[in-house]
Structure 1
Amino acid sequence: MYSAHFTAETSSNGVRERDFTVGEVPGVLWSPASGSDGAPLVLMGHSGGLHKRAPGILARAHHYVTSYGFTVAAIDAPGHGDRPRNAEDAQWVAALLQARAAGEPIGPIIADFNSSLAERAVPEWQATLDALQALSEIGTEAPIGYGGMTLGTATGLLLTAIEPRITAAAFGGVFVYEALIEAAGRITIPIELLLPWDDEEIDRQSGLALFDAFASKEKTLHAHPGRHNQVPRFEIDNSARFFLRHLGRTVTSPA
C-alpha cells in the first residue's frame, strides 16, 4: 500500500496547498489553512489535455476550501501534467489533432483514448484515496465526493461505479460510450450532471442518455449554453452546494 509523500507546501488566502506523490502519481491537496480534521474530501478529475492545476480545478478547489471548509485533491491522469506520455497515447493524440484539423469526427477517437486513460486512472485514484485516508486529518470517516468534466467524468464514472467510499458525484461534458452508460447504471448515489447545450463536438442526445442511465434516485441535470469548456461560473457554486447537501460541513456562509 502506498502512502502520500508530501514534496512542497504553500499557504495563502486561507488555503493550504500541498504537492504529494502516491507511488509515481503526482497530486495536489488543498485544505483550510486553519485546519481540516474530519472535513469532507472532494476528489477532482481534470479534463483531457489538462492537469491537476488546471484553472478550472484551481477555481473550484479554492472556492470549496474557503467557502465550505472542504478538503480537495487532484492527481495527474496518465500522460498528463507531470507524467510522461507513452507511445500509444502519443498516437491517439496525433490522430485526434489530425482529425480535428481535417474537420473529421473526433468522438470515436476521444472515446477510445478516454476509455484507456480512465481504466488506468481508476486504480490510481483508489490508491490515492487509500493514502489520503491514512492521514490523521482526513481518516476513514470523512465523507467523500467526486467531481470532473470530460476525461474527469469518464474516469469518475468508472471509479464511482466500483468505489463505495464515494457518496456523491458531479459529472459533465463527456464523450459518451457504452462502458460509461453501463457504469452509470450501477451508480445509485446522488449525482449532478452538467450538460453543455451548444457543444459542437459532444452530442447533446448522448448526454441525455447518460443522465437517463444513472440508477440514482436523486439526480439533477444542469443544462447551460456553451461548450464543455465554457461552464458558467455560477455552476461552480451550484456544485459546491450539491456537495454541501450530501457531504456536510461549512465554515463560512457564502455570499
Structure 2
Amino acid sequence: MLWTPIASTGPRPLVLIGHGGGQHKKEWGVLSRAIPYVASCGFAVAAIDAPGTGDRPEHAEIQRLVAILQEREAAGEPAGPAWPALCETVASQLVPDWQTTLDALQKLDSVGDNQPVGYYGLSQGGEMGIRLVAAEPRITAAVLGLIGSEWLTDDAARITIPVEFVLQWDDEGSPRDSVMKLFDALGSTEKTLHANPGSHYRVPSFEIDSSVRFFARHLGTAGSS
C-alpha cells in the first residue's frame, strides 16, 4: 500500500510503517499513522504485509510456531524458544522484502531516490524495524518500541540514527526492564524514551502526534530539502 497527498507531484520524504503481529498493512494501526503523515507533512507512506498475513499466502512454519505459542500461553507457560524462532522466521523474509519494496518505491516520481526515509513500527513492527533499520542505511529516522527482545541488542547497537522509542509501563508481553535495556543498547546519540502507563494495546493517541513532529523534524516536509 502506498499513500500520497491528493494531486501530489514530485518527490517527497517517505515513511515505511510496519504492522503489529497478526495484523496486516490495511489495519487501523497503520492507517491511523499513515493519514496524518500524509495530511500534515505531505509524506509518502508505504506498508507491506508480513509473511503469512493480509494478502500474502499462508506460511506453514509461521502457523506451526504460532500454534505452539498459543498452546503455551493457554497453559500459562512461558513462550520458550518458539518466540525467537518465530521472529527469526518472519524477519528472514520480511526484511529483504522491505528493502526490495524500498528499491521499487524510490523509482516512483512521487517518492524519488534522493529523499529521506523514516520507519515506524511497534510490537512486531518494532522487532522487525530494529533489524531493518540496522541493515538499511537509507532509513534516517525511526519510531520504534513495545519490544524488549534480548537477541536484538547487537542490532540495536548498530543503529545510530535519531530514534523515538515507545514503552508501555504495564506491558504484559514486554516487561519494562527488558524494553529499557533495548533502548539503552541503541547506538543513537539522539534517542528519546516515551513511557506511558497502561498495557501493550493502550498506547495513547497523542503518541501519533509526537511521531508526526518527530518525522517532520528529521525528514523535513514535502518540497523541503
Q: TM-score, normalised by structure 1?
A: 0.84
Trace 1:1-255 onto structure 2 (pairs within 5 A).
Answer: 28-106=1-79, 108-178=81-151, 180-249=152-221
Compute the RMSD of aligned alpha carbons: 1.4
Q: Give the Å deviation of 1:97.
A: 1.3
Q: Alignment partner of 2:4: what SS?
A: strand
Q: Alignment partner of 1:32: what SS?
A: coil
* Cα distance in structure 2, aligned partners of 1:137 and 1:69: 11
* Paired amino acid for 1:64: Y
Q: Give the Å deviation of 1:214.
A: 0.6
Superposed structure 1 runs of 4+ greater than 2 Å apart = 106-112
Q: Give the Å deviation of 1:231.
A: 1.1
* Cα pair distance change 1:40/1:90, threshold 3 Å: same
Q: Give the Å deviation of 1:115.
A: 2.1
* Cα distance in structure 1, aligned partners of 2:9 and 2:179: 36
* Paired amino acid for 1:207: V
* Cα pair distance change 1:213/1:220, threshold 3 Å: same
Unaligned runs of 5+ in 1: 1-27
* Paired amino acid for 2:104: A
Unaligned runs of 5+ in 2: none
Work out the percentage of aligned pairs sharing the same amino acid. Answer: 53
Q: Give the Å deviation of 1:108.
A: 4.5
Q: TM-score, normalised by structure 2?
A: 0.95
Instruction: Name the count of aligned residue pairs.
Output: 223
* Cα pair distance change 1:225/1:249, threshold 3 Å: same
Q: Is the 8 A contact 1:119 1:155 kept in 2?
A: no
